[in-house]
Amino acid sequence: MNFTEAVEAAMEAKGMSKADLARATHRSYQYISDLLKGERRWHEGIINEVCAALGIQIEFNHQP
């Protein structure tokens, strides 16, 4: 599962819409929508904001 899929699963589990996530992260709806559609790249700042808003932690695993 990639990060976008994990975010979408967490949003679904919490009944959170894109608009809810945008409000929780103080980002625009369009920005969140673009991230989830893959039209923008995730960066450390927004990853941390989204994780805090969703109450999730992520772990990166390097697979050779």
Tell me 14's DSSP state: H
pLDDT above 80 for 60 = no
- ∠ CA 23-13-63, nearest 5°, is 95
Number of domains the chain contains: 1
CATH code of the domain containing 40 = 1.10.260.40
Contact 25, 11 (CB under 8 A): no
Q: Is residue 45 part of a domain?
A: yes
Q: Using one digit for the tens of pLDDT, what is the confidence trace for 1-18?
A: 789 999 999 999 999 999
19 C-beta neighbours (distance < 10 Å), count: 11
Instruction: For the beta carbon of residue 54, count every other beta carbon within 10 angstroms.
Output: 20
Task: List, for residues 37-53, the tens digit of each pLDDT value.
Answer: 999 999 999 999 999 99
CB neighbourhood size of 50 (10 A): 25
